[in-house]
A and B are shown apart, each in its own frame.
Chain A
Amino acid sequence: MKVLAALFMAVILAGVCDAAELSIGLIPEQNVFKQVKRYAPVGDYILKKTGNKINFVILPRYGNILESFSEKKLDGAFWGSFTGALAITQLGVEPIARPVNPDGNSTYKGYIFVRKDSGIGNIAGMKGKSIAFVEKATTAGYMFPMAWFKKHGITDVDRYFREHYFAGSHDAAITAVLDRQVDVGCAKNTIFDMLSQSDPRIGSELMVIAESVPVPSNGLGLANGIPADVKESIRKALLGMADDAEGRDILKTFRALRFIPTSREDYAPVFDMARDAGIDIKQYKYLNK
């Protein structure tokens, strides 16, 4: 009887030991509180399917995500496209999976938008105006507009614009333009489209001046040191969410159709855009001024 109890405990403990507890960072793609609410069910699902507990850590800045990754000892994060590229390049993070948007795309674009009644219709109209970026470490919120500005001959935004700052999140940038806090805004189209559904003013009062090429949507990347079986179990859980009724309900709340596998190659457009923007990803300093 004692032998059986010991064996039973060994099995239990083995199961417990096999389960990992991972800290996954969440970038401020939108309102940080909304971010937590959005990703929490996904974390619960992963726990249920794999036994691995996911603790989400809000990262208030896109910018210090890499430091936070080390300081907070994160095991992974749902990276943005640019931060994901940075993490792959500088931290050796392994992409696992990314969501497919409700429109069926697993990518997003960068928007540069103004109020329709601002009188701004092009790059020339932006001169001397104020602009809200998102973060230096974002594709749609900084890198794309910088590349677009460079493409249109503007290399010094400090001079061209009267004022610029980093809203910190895409929805903040959209709201800042909508609320006439700034004249021009930069944000990702997915957040733009999502907010326009909840606030019809966005669709009716704002207009998009420019948009970027598609880049990978925010996906999960795990640190190099995470055991392969853990990575595989999490990958498997995410990829199988669409096959599961519970998973499908979570995906609906998450506003995604499914998760698809993601690799380094999927980030090629980001690397190209960074080159176009004159950014050396390896050396890039992404802290906001």
Chain B
Amino acid sequence: MKRKIILSLCALFLFFTTGAVVASTYVTDITSRLSHLLKLHHIENLRRELVSNIQTVQADLYTVYTPQGHDMDSIVQNMSVLENSARQCAGACHHQPDIHARLKEIEANVTEYEAHLSYYITAAANSDMIQRIKSDAALSGNRLLALTERMSIEASRKLADMTSEAMTKIEKVLTIIAATLIVTFIMGVWVATRLTVSVTKPVGELLNATRVIAEGGVGHTIEYSGNTEFGELAANFNIMSMALKESYDKLTAANEALQLEIAERIQAENALTISEAFLNNVFNSIRDPLCIVDRDFTIIRANDAYAQFHKTDYPQILGVKCHEASFGNAQPCHDCIVRRTFDTSSPQWSEKYERRRNGEDRWLEIYTYPFLDSDGSARYVVKHMRDISQRKIMEDEVLKSRKLDSVGVLAGGLAHDFNNLLTSIMGNINLARNFPSPQVKALERLNEAERAALRAQDLTQQLLTFSKGGAPVKSASSIGELVTETARFVTTGSHVRCEFNIPDDIWTCDVDAGQISRVVHNIVVNAEHAMPDGGTIRITCCNVVVGGGDSVPLASGDYVKISIADTGVGIQPEMIGRIFDPYFSTKQKGSGLGLAASYSIVKKHDGQISVHSVPGVGTTFDIYLPADRRAAAPGRHDELQHSRGKGRVLVMDDEELVRGVAVEMIKQLGYDVDYASDGSEAVERYKAGMLGGSRYDVVIMDLSVPRGMGGKDAVEKLREIDPNVRAIVSSGYSNDPIMAEFGKYGFSGVVAKPYRIHDLGRAIQRAMSVDA
């Protein structure tokens, strides 16, 4: 098509161009001729002007010196004009050689004429001479005139011929131009018509086809055969239409599939909603408080029981830190079970006691379960809490009952023992009374009675340790030093030696050093007794981390394990289960309370004691005590330095000597100290200090004040005045339950008598670290 259009237009253009070229050629020729004619006309005019000028000068010559003549200036001027005319005529155009020769002849004649005329003008001679000169000038002028007129005639004739010829050519050109225009017009119309038809028809078909498709006739095709661009366009259009239909069909199918998928998704979403509602119901129906915590300890989900447990609404509990919600603490708890779960990515368990703001005691059993990511790390922790306060009470009751049973057994035993002892004491005293010479014999009896009394004291100590009142008074202690000192003390002078394997980096444990020392003492004594012929007791300490899956019945955490192994006679298997029962003994000597007391002590430290033995080989005791990696046991050389501090301390003790020692020690620790003799005075002093703007930072109060207000009552009074009072309880009776559970009674710390300066200092530091 394009080729056809181009060829048609080229043919049209070629024809037009040919005609235009031919016409242009003729026009150019004619133009040239006309220009030449114009020149010739111009020249002719010049010649005529020259002729006229010659005639004028001739007239001047004939009329000079007559009344009709002109003056000389006029003649000279006319001659100048004539000369100019001749010059113009000669230089007007390019002449043919003969014409050129004639013009030169004219110029020569003009010069001659000029000379004759000048001669005539200037000559002064006789009249004949003058007449002769004048004739010569006139003849010269006539010759010039004749020559010029002849040339002019010839030029006019030629001019006419040339003009006629030019007109003929002009007519020819007009004919050519007209023919060119007409034929070009006809050709143009024909080409335009043909091209229009060849373009509009397929375009029309294409347009119709697009309308059909626009109206929904996808896949509509057109029929156009022709080896032209339109044919190609039609073919491509058909391909496009079919492709469009195919895409449309696919789209329709995809849409239907999408609709189906949407329906299924809606159904799934509904099912999910129902499932979620069901799970929510299940979640909320669980009566135990349940929450889900993220790594920032933020509660992201909780059930209704959790919200109710914390006396709030579900929306209010979301976003709150779990330690804040549960315990009102701004920071995570010291032994945060959630943190342990995140750290270990394993379930944890703990029991936690809290005293609520309203004074209510509560025991919580907390289970945590990690919600693991794909990399095995805990992303969330599910915290399951259970108020086991009632259970604890019941357990206490059961324990009490068991204790009572034990006590019953103990009482029976004690009764039996004390009866024996008393019998010995009373009998010896009785006998001493009846001897005739009582001094010597009485002394022996009294000695016996004393030994019995000492044994009764020891028995009493064991009983106290075993009783409820023997709660450990803990402090960070170096287990290595404790075990080493105790073991060496016991085996001093013995035929048994100790071997120690205690690493330098053994963790610190928060323990009652005296009680743990007793435990080690009891076990080492038994080990010594099991090797009557001597031997080696191997004592090993190591750091242990107990996980949730370990066999040791301990809560997950850090422990120090103390192993005391002998190579003695061992314990028979049938007896090993009763080794820790009170009054159970495999020895002839012994009260049978040592291991029972040791068991009780370790348990009270939240630890574990176990034994395994092979008869004839030896016995090994393993003691697990909770460790505190962060705490460092003070070295003996810096105990005092670390115990120092600044602040105001009030000491209350009825015993002047004890009070004096305490005041002096506290001064040495760097504090300002005041004292009171009983609880009432202490309350008054504290009140005065508050009103005076110099509140006491710590108050140390003796528990038992026989003739006044004791520490227990005094702290209650103080808390009325200042709920944030920091009070430390002190007593010589370490078995007092207030000493063991000082927090329950409103105290912030405890220190046992007799005082040691660093114990006093640390107790004050601990109390002052409590938020006021």
Q: Residue A197 at the B interface, CB < 8 A?
A: no
Q: Within the assembled complex, what's the spacing in Å between the Cα atoms of A34 and B79? A: 11
Q: Residue A61 at the B interface, CB < 8 A?
A: yes
Q: Is B114 within 8 A of A165, CB to CB? A: no
| Residues in chain A near residue B125, CB distance under 8 A | 165-167
Tell me which of B72, B114, B124, B126 contacts A31 (CB under 8 A).
B114
Q: Residue A94 at the B interface, CB < 8 A?
A: no
| Residues in chain B near residue A28, CB distance under 8 A | 118, 121-122
Contact residues of B: prevailing secondary structure: helix
**Chain A, 123-139, CB within 8 A of any chain B CB:** 135
Indicate with 1 or 0, residue by residue over A126-160, a CB within 8 angstroms of chain B CB atoms. Answer: 00000000010000000000000000000000000
A58-B72, A135-B124, A165-B126 known; A36+B80 contact, CB < 8 A: yes
Q: Residue A63 at the B interface, CB < 8 A?
A: yes
| Residues in chain B near residue A61, CB distance under 8 A | 122, 124
**Chain A, 56-79, CB within 8 A of any chain B CB:** 57-58, 60-61, 63
A58-B76, A60-B72, A175-B115 known; A32+B123 contact, CB < 8 A: no
| Residues in chain B near residue A32, CB distance under 8 A | 72, 76, 118, 121-122
| Residues in chain A near residue B76, CB distance under 8 A | 32-33, 36, 58
Q: Within the assembled complex, what's the spacing in Å between the Cα atoms of A175 and B129? A: 15
Q: Within the assembled complex, what's the spacing in Å between the Cα atoms of A30 and B73? A: 16
Q: Is A63 within 8 A of B121, CB to CB? A: no
Q: Is A33 within 8 A of B118, CB to CB? A: yes
- Identity of the chain B residue whose Cβ is nearest the Cβ of A68 in the assembled complex: B72
**Chain B, 42-77, CB within 8 A of any chain A CB:** 72-73, 76
Q: Is B124 within 8 A of A172, CB to CB? A: no
**Chain B, 84-142, CB within 8 A of any chain A CB:** 114-115, 117-119, 121-126, 129
CB distance from A75 to the nearest CB of B (A): 16
- Identity of the chain B residue whose Cβ is nearest the Cβ of A62 in the assembled complex: B122
Q: Is A167 within 8 A of B80, CB to CB? A: no
Q: Is B124 within 8 A of A33, CB to CB? A: no
Q: Residue A288 at the B interface, CB < 8 A?
A: yes
Q: Residue A216 at the B interface, CB < 8 A?
A: no
CB distance from A55 to the nearest CB of B (A): 10
Q: Is A33 within 8 A of B122, CB to CB? A: no
- Identity of the chain A residue whose Cβ is nearest the Cβ of B115 in the assembled complex: A31
Q: Within the assembled complex, what's the spacing in Å between the Cα atoms of A218 and B80? A: 23
Residue with the greatest number of chain A CB neighbours at <10 A, chosen from B83, B117, B124: B124
A36-B76, A175-B119 known; A168+B124 contact, CB < 8 A: yes
**Chain A, 67-102, CB within 8 A of any chain B CB:** none
Q: Residue A52 at the B interface, CB < 8 A?
A: no
Indicate with 1 or 0, residue by residue over B635-663, a CB within 8 angstroms of chain A CB atoms. Answer: 00000000000000000000000000000
**Chain A, 246-289, CB within 8 A of any chain B CB:** 288-289
Q: Is A33 within 8 A of B119, CB to CB? A: no
| Residues in chain A near residue B80, CB distance under 8 A | 33, 36
| Residues in chain B near residue A135, CB distance under 8 A | 122, 124
Tell me which of B79, B83, B121, B126 contacts A168 (CB under 8 A).
B121
| Residues in chain B near residue A31, CB distance under 8 A | 114-115, 118
Q: Within the assembled complex, what's the spacing in Å between the Cα atoms of A34 and B114? A: 9
Q: How many residues of A contact B (CB 8 A)?
A: 23
| Residues in chain B near residue A168, CB distance under 8 A | 118-119, 121-124
| Residues in chain A near residue B72, CB distance under 8 A | 32, 58, 60
A60-B72, A288-B124 known; A172+B129 contact, CB < 8 A: no
CB distance from A61 to the nearest CB of B (A): 7
| Residues in chain A near residue B119, CB distance under 8 A | 167-169, 172, 175
Q: Within the assembled complex, what's the spacing in Å between the Cα atoms of A19 and B73? A: 24
CB distance from B60 to the nearest CB of A (A): 13
CB distance from A87 to the nearest CB of B (A): 19
A31-B114, A36-B76, A165-B129 known; A172+B122 contact, CB < 8 A: yes
Tell me which of B83, B114, B118, B129 contacts A169 (CB under 8 A).
B118
Indicate with 1 or 0, residue by residue over B579-601, a CB within 8 angstroms of chain A CB atoms. Answer: 00000000000000000000000
CB distance from A109 to the nearest CB of B (A): 21
Residue with the greatest number of chain B CB neighbours at <10 A, chosen from A34, A60, A171: A60
Tell me which of B83, B114, B117, B124 contacts A166 (CB under 8 A).
B124
Q: Within the assembled complex, what's the spacing in Å between the Cα atoms of A165 and B118? A: 16
Residue with the greatest number of chain B CB neighbours at <10 A, chosen from A32, A33, A57, A168: A33
CB distance from B641 to the nearest CB of A (A): 110
| Residues in chain A near residue B122, CB distance under 8 A | 28, 32, 60-61, 135, 167-169, 172
| Residues in chain A near residue B83, CB distance under 8 A | 33
Q: Within the assembled complex, what's the spacing in Å between the Cα atoms of A176 and B301? A: 150
CB distance from B129 to the nearest CB of A (A): 5
| Residues in chain A near residue B129, CB distance under 8 A | 165
- Identity of the chain A residue whose Cβ is nearest the Cβ of B113 in the assembled complex: A33
Q: Within the assembled complex, what's the spacing in Å between the Cα atoms of A166 and B126? A: 9
| Residues in chain B near residue A175, CB distance under 8 A | 115, 119
A36-B80, A58-B73 known; A166+B123 contact, CB < 8 A: yes
Residue with the greatest number of chain A CB neighbours at <10 A, chosen from B79, B118, B126, B129: B118
CB distance from A173 to the nearest CB of B (A): 9
| Residues in chain B near residue A169, CB distance under 8 A | 118-119, 122
CB distance from A5 to the nearest CB of B (A): 39
| Residues in chain B near residue A60, CB distance under 8 A | 72, 121-122
Q: List 14 A-B contacts (CB under 8 A).
A: A28-B121, A33-B79, A57-B73, A60-B122, A165-B123, A165-B124, A165-B125, A165-B129, A166-B125, A168-B121, A168-B124, A169-B118, A172-B119, A175-B119
> A28-B121, A165-B123, A175-B119 provided; 11 other pairs, C-beta below 8 A?
A32-B118, A33-B80, A33-B83, A33-B118, A165-B124, A165-B129, A166-B124, A166-B125, A167-B123, A169-B122, A289-B124
Q: What 5 A-B pairs have minimum CB-CB distances, sorted nearest first?
A: A168-B122, A165-B125, A288-B124, A166-B124, A31-B118
